Chains A and B, each alone.
Chain A
Amino acid sequence: MFWFLAAPGTFWLVVFFLAPLAIVWALSFGEQTSLVDTEITGTLENYVRAVGTPVYLQIIWKSLWISAIATFLCLVVAYPVAFLISFVRGRWKMLLLVAVILPFWINLLIRTYALLAVFRTRGFVNFGFEWIYNTLWLDTIFGRFQPLELLYNNFSVTAGLVYVFMPFMVLPLYASIERLDKSYLEASLDLGASQTRTFFRITVPLTMPGIVSGIILVFIPMLGAFLIPDLLGGTNAQMIGNVIERQFKAANDYPFGAALSFLLMYATFGALALRAFMAGRKSGMEI
C-alpha cells in the first residue's frame, strides 16, 4: 500500500522535476566546448562571471531593488484590503475574497498584456491625463498634451509586478488578521492607546507571521519574473529573468544561464529557510 501510493508521485517528481533541476545545477559548473556541447568541469567560472561582471551584477542589484520596492508597495496596498476583508461579515466577505482570488486564475500573459494596453502612449492612463489636461484648459497655456512615456522603464516594471502579485500578498495577510483575537485590539484601546498606536504596537506585531509569509510569497517570484520585464520593460528595464532567458535561447550559453538560474534558486532557499526560522521562533510565543 505504501509503495503503491508513493511510487507514481515520487517517480514523476524525480524524473520531470528533480532530474531537470539537477541537469541545470550540473551545467552551472560546466563549460561550453562547442556550439552544441557542454562539458561539466566543476568550474566556478560561471558564478564568478555572474557576480563579477559589472553588467550582470548591476542587473542582479536592480532586480533585487525593483523586487524589494514592489514587495513593499504590495504590502502597503494589500494590508488595508486584507484588514477590511477580515472585519467584514457574511456575504460581502465571501465576495471580496473571491474578488481577490479571481485574478490568480487569469493568465499572467493576459494580465500583463492588459496592463500594456493601459500604459502605452495611446493607452487609457494617458487618455485620462489628456482629458484632465484639456478640461483644465492647460492646452491653451502649455500647448498640446504630450503623452507620458509610461512603458519600457523601471516604473512600468515595478507597477506591473505590484499589479500582478498583489493578490498573493492579500491572502496570507488576511489569514493572519482573521486569526488575530480582536480582544487584543479592544484591550489596547481600553488601556488608553489610540487607534494608530494600537495598529502599530498590537496589530502589526501580532500579524507579523502573515507579513513575513506575504513578503516571501511575492518577493521570490518577483525576483524571477521574466514576462513582466520582458513586455513592460523592454530593453531598458531588464531583470535576471530576461538575462537567463537570453542565455538559454538567443545566446545559447547554457552554463552561464544555469549559474544565474541557480543563484536565483539559492536566494529562494535562503528566503524559505529564513521563513522557517522565523516560524520556529514565533511558535514558542504563541499561546
Chain B
Amino acid sequence: MSESIISIRNVTKTFGAVRAVNDVSIDIQANEFFALLGPSGCGKTTLLRMIAGFTNPSAGQILIDGQDMVAVPPNKRPVNMVFQSYAVFPHMSVEQNVAYGLQVVGTPAAEISTRVANALERVGLDELRTRMPGQLSGGQRQRVALARALVKQPKVLLLDEPLSALDAKLREQMQFELSQLQQDVGVTFIIVTHDQDEALSMADRIAVMQDGNVDQIAEPGALYEKPANRFVADFIGKVNLFDGEVSGTQAGKLTVETAVLGKVHLTHDGEAQHQVCLAIRPEKIRISKTKPDVEGHITTRGRITDWAYYGDCSHMFVETENATQSGAVRLGVVIQNDTRDAVDALDIGDDVHLFWSPDDMLVLND
C-alpha cells in the first residue's frame, strides 16, 4: 500500500487500566533515521518493544515491509535491536556474540566467519574478537551489540536509549558515529531517547511522545521552530510562555490580550482557540539598556535577577515590571558573547529593555 518500511496503524497498548500507547499511527520510510522522543513513561519504549515483538499491541496493526507482524514472534521478525543494557551475552566471546544470530538460523560456517569479521571491522572491534564481555568497556560492549544486530542485515535496526549508559564525551562521539554508520549501511534506524540533543543531532525525523500519544512528527528544525503545541515547545529547548486570550481575528492577523505584554498583534495562519499561549525562544529576545528605537516590535521592561555564564553564551533571567497578580514574571534570555567585552556589558540588577519581532513569536494551542 505504501513504501513505508514500518507502518504503525492505530496501535494501542494497555497494561491493566494504564494506556501506555494510545492510538498511535506512524509511518517510517526506508533508510530513515527516526527518533521516538519523550520523557520517561511516555510510551516510546513500549512502542519500540512492540515493533521488536516483545509486547503485543492491544489493538491496531504493525506492518514491517508491508507484512502484518502481529502474530509473528520476535525471532521471526526482520528487525534487530540494540538493548539499553546492551544484553551482550556474558558467557560468549565478542566473536561468539556476533556469530550467535547467524548460527541459530543455520547460516553456513564459512559465511558466518566472513560476515562476523566484516561486522567487527565496521564497528572497529576486530582486535578484540576473542575478549569476553567482562573485559570490555561500556562503549566497546555497545559496539558488540551494534555489530551483533547489524550482522543479521535487518530491515530495521531498533535502538533503545543506546547512549544513556555512556559518559558525556563518549556519548557525543557515538552520536556522530551512529549517524555515520546509518548512512554507511543504509538500514532504517529507529532510536528511542529521552535526550532531545541526541534526537535533534542524529535523526532525520522525530516523533515527540507524551502520555502514550504522539504530539508531533517533524524534522528537527521544524520541531524547534514550529512546535505543534505547548508540550512540544516546552520539551524541545527552552521557551518563554505567555497565556493569553484572543480578542480579535482578521485575515491571518490575530490580536491576543496577555497580562504581561498587553495587546499583541501577530500573523497567524491556522486555527486558534480562544485561550492560547504565546511562546518566544530565549535566544530570539533582544536586550538593551537604552530604549530601543524599533517599529512593530514587542517590547517590555525588567531587571536582571540571575546570570549564568557559559563561555559562548550567557543565560539570564529578567523580571518584568508589569507583574501580574500572581507575582512577577521571569523571562529567560540568551545572549551570544560574540565580542570579548560582551560579558561586562550587563550585570545583575541592571534595568533593561527586552524586544523581539512578532514574527519570531508562536501561537500555541494547549
A interface residues, Cβ below 8 angstroms from B: 181, 183-184, 186-195, 197, 201-202, 205-206, 284-287
Contact = CB atoms under 8 A, between A and B. Distances in A.
B282 interface: no
A191 B100 contact: yes
In order of increasing CB-CB distance, the 6 nearest A-B pairs are A191-B101, A187-B87, A193-B104, A183-B87, A189-B74, A189-B75
Nearest to A185: B87
A186 to B, nearest CB: 5
Contacts of A205: 91
Nearest to A206: B91
Interface string B78-112: 01110111010111000000001100110000000
Given A285-B132, A286-B134, A287-B134, A190 B75 contact: yes
Interface in B183-214: none
A188 B90 contact: no
6 contacts: A183-B85, A187-B87, A190-B74, A190-B80, A193-B100, A201-B100
Contacts, number: 74
A184 B89 contact: yes
Nearest to B145: A187
A192 B100 CA distance: 9
B101 A192 contact: yes
A206 B74 contact: no
A188 B91 contact: no
Interface string B98-134: 0011001100000000000000000000000000111
Given A189-B73, A192-B75, A287-B133, A206 B90 contact: yes
A191 B104 contact: yes
Interface size class of B (residues with CB under 8 A): 20 to 34
A190 B90 contact: no
Contacts of B133: 287
B152 interface: yes
B176 interface: no
| Interface core residue of A186, A191, A197 (most chain B CB under 10 Å) | A191
Contacts of A206: 89-91
B366 to A, nearest CB: 37
Contacts of B81: 186-187, 190
| Interface core residue of B73, B75, B101 (most chain A CB under 10 Å) | B75
A187 B91 contact: no
B228 interface: no
B89 A194 contact: no
Contacts of A193: 75, 100-101, 104
Given A187-B81, A189-B74, A190-B80, A287 B90 contact: yes
Contacts of B89: 184, 187-188, 202, 206
B80 to A, nearest CB: 6
